[in-house]
C-alpha cells in the first residue's frame, strides 16, 4: 500500500515507515509564536525548566494581532517577547512585518517535506508549500521551544480533487467556502486535507495559501498541496533547496475522497455564524452591510487587492460602508503600493491599515457594534469574532467584497 504526502513527511522525519494513526515523537523544522500566544508559550517554556530554546534559528517570533500595541497589557506582552528574543538570540524576530502566516511563508521559514508548528490555528496555511504545518496550543509550544520535537498522531488524509475552470470573478476563496460547506465544520477533524487536481495545479501560490489556510475551518489538522514547479519557483529566492518529488502514491489510502468541478461554481458567501454555512451569493444578495474588510492571512495579498481593484475600476465605495483594507505583510503592502492600488482604494473612500491582523480577530480595531453587519475576506465568522456578539459577519472573496463595498449591500461581483 502506498503512502500519502503526510505519511511520507513523517517517515522522512522519523527515519522509518510511518502510517496514519501512529503516535510518534517527531522533530520540528520551525516553531512560530506571535504576540497573543507567545507570552504564554514562553511562560510554559520556563515552567518546564527551559533555559535555552532548542535552536534559535528555527524559532520564529512575530507581532501581528495587536500591532501597534492597542492597550497597556498588549504593550507589556510585546516587551516580554522582545526580552525573550534578545535573551535567546532569536533572529527570526519581526515586529512590523505583518501577519505571522504570510511572513513565515514569504521569508522561507516553511518548505516542502518539513514539519512546522505554530501557536495559532491557521498555521495550516504553510501546507501550500508542501510542508506539514499545524497549529498547537501554548503549552505544547512551550515543550517544542525546549525540546524541538512534539508528539503527533499522524493524521489520515482526505483527498479533495478539483477540476474545471473558474468563471470570471470566481476563485480560490469561493472554492474553499464551497468545500467547507460540503465537508462541514467538523467533517475533517484531525485529518489532513490534500488538495489536488488540475485546478489546484493551475492555482498560483496565493490561491493555494487561501485553500490551505481554511482547512482548519473543517477541523483539519492541516491542508496540503504537493510541491510542483509553482512551489519551487516561489521558493527559489526564499530557500536554498534543491527541488525534489513529494507526492502521494497512486495507491495511497485515504479516509475519504471528494471531487469538485468549479466550472459552474458561483461566488460564495458564508453566512453567520459558521464558516460551513456557505451559499451562492445570489441567496444573500441585497443584504445591507455596514463594513467591508479586505485583508487577513486568507486574502491579504497583492493578488487579492488587484482582484478587488479590477472590480472597483474608477468608481468609489459607498459612503454608507466603512471599507478597511489591510495588506498581510510589508512585502504585500509595498507591491500593492507600487502598483498604485493603495492610492486607488484611498481615493475610493477606504481606510488602509498597516500590515496586521486588523479586524479579523476583533482584537485591535475595526470592531462591530451590536446589530452591525460585516462582509469580510477573512477566515472566520463566529459570533463575536469582529466585535459585538450581537453583530454579524459574512465571509466572501475579494471580488465579492469590492462589489458589495460599492453598492452598500451584498452583491454578485459578476454583475458589477
**In the chain, what are the domain boundaries?**
5-261, 270-415
Give the torsion sign (CA, 246, 249, 253, 256).
Answer: positive
Q: What is the pLDDT of residue 83?
A: 94
CATH node for 5-261: 3.30.499.10
State how beta strands 115-118 and 93-94 pair. unpaired
Mean pLDDT, range 148-177, rounded to an integer: 97
397, 377 in Cβ contact below 8 A? Answer: yes
* CATH top class, domain 270-415: alpha beta
Q: What is the pLDDT of residue 354?
A: 87
Altogether, the residues listed in the chain come to a count of 416
The whole-angstrom separation of Cα 196 and Cα 361 is 30
Query: Does position 70 have pLDDT exceeding 90, yes or no?
Result: no
Confidence of residue 74 (pLDDT cuts 50, 70, 90): confident
The whole-angstrom separation of Cα 172 and Cα 211 is 6
The whole-angstrom separation of Cα 134 and Cα 408 is 37
Q: What is the pLDDT of residue 316?
A: 96
Mean pLDDT, range 56-80, rounded to an integer: 88
Mean pLDDT, range 386-411, rounded to an integer: 94
Q: What is the pLDDT of residue 365?
A: 81
3-state secondary structure of 153: strand
Give the model confidence (pLDDT) of 184-196 as tens digits: 999 999 999 999 9
Give the model confidence (pLDDT) of 193-220 as tens digits: 999 999 999 999 999 999 999 999 999 9
Shared fold status for 5-261 and 270-415: yes
Residue 110: closest CA among 11, 241, 3: 241
**HSE on the CB side for 75, CA within 13 Å?**
4
The whole-angstrom separation of Cα 23 and Cα 43 is 27
**Arithmetic mean of pLDDT over the chain:** 94
Q: What is the pLDDT of residue 269?
A: 98
Amino acid at each position: 500500500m502506498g503512502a500519502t504526502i503526510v505519511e511520507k513527511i513523517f517517515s522522512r522525519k522519523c527515519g522509518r515507515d510511518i502510517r496514519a494513526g501512529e503516535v510518534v515523537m517527531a522533530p520540528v523544522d520551525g516553531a512560530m509564536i506571535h504576540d497573543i500566544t507567545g507570552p504564554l508559550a514562553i511562560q510554559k517554556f520556563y515552567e518546564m525548566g527551559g533555559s535555552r530554546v532548542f535552536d534559535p534559528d528555527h524559532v520564529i517570533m512575530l507581532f501581528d494581532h495587536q500591532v501597534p500595541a492597542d492597550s497597556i497589557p498588549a504593550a507589556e506582552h510585546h516587551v516580554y517577547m522582545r526580552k525573550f528574543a534578545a535573551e535567546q538570540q532569536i533572529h527570526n524576530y519581526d515586529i512590523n512585518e505583518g501577519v505571522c502566516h504570510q511572513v513565515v511563508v514569504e521569508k522561507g521559514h516553511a518548505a516542502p517535506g518539513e514539519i512546522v508548528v505554530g501557536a495559532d490555528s491557521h498555521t495550516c496555511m504553510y501546507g501550500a508549500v508542501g510542508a506539514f504545518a499545524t497549529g498547537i496550543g501554548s503549552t505544547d509550544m512551550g515543550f517544542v521551544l525546549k525540546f524541538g520535537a512534539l508528539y503527533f498522531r499522524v493524521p489520515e488524509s482526505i483527498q479533495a480533487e478539483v477540476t474545471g475552470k473558474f468563471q470570471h470573478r470566481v476563485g480560490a476563496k469561493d472554492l474553499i467556502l464551497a468545500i467547507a460547506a460540503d465537508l462541514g465544520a467538523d467533517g475533517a477533524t484531525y485529518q489532513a486535507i490534500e488538495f489536488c487536481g488540475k485546478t489546484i495545479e493551475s492555482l498560483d501560490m496565493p490561491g493555494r495559501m487561501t485553500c490551505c489556510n481554511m482547512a482548519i475551518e473543517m477541523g483539519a489538522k492541516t491542508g496540503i498541496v504537493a510541491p510542483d514547479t509553482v512551489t519551487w519557483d516561489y521558493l527559489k529566492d526564499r530557500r536554498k533547496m534543491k527541488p525534489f518529488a513529494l507526492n502521494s502514491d497512486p495507491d495511497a489510502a485515504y479516509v475519504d475522497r471528494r471531487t469538485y468541478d468549479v466550472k459552474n461554481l458561483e461566488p460564495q458567501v458564508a453566512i453567520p455564524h459558521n464558516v460551513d454555512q456557505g451559499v451562492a451569493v445570489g441567496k444573500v444578495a441585497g443584504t445591507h452591510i455596514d463594513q467591508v474588510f479586505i485583508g487577513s492571512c486568507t486574502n491579504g495579498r497583492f493578488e487579492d487587492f488587484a482582484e478587488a481593484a479590477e472590480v472597483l475600476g474608477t468608481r468609489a465605495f459607498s459612503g454608507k460602508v466603512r471599507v478597511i483594507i489591510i495588506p498581510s505583510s510589508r512585502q504585500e503592502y509595498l507591491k500593492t503600493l507600487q502598483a498604485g492600488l493603495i492610492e486607488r482604494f484611498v481615493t475610493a473612500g477606504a481606510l488602509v491599515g498597516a500590515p496586521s491582523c486588523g479586524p479579523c480577530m476583533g482584537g485591535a480595531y475595526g470592531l462591530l457594534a451590536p446589530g452591525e453587519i460585516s462582509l469580510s475576506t477573512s477566515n472566520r465568522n463566529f459570533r463575536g469574532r469582529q466585535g459585538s456578539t450581537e453583530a454579524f459577519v459574512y465571509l466572501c472573496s475579494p471580488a465579492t467584497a469590492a462589489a458589495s463595498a460599492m453598492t452598500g449591500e451584498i452583491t454578485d461581483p459578476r454583475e458589477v
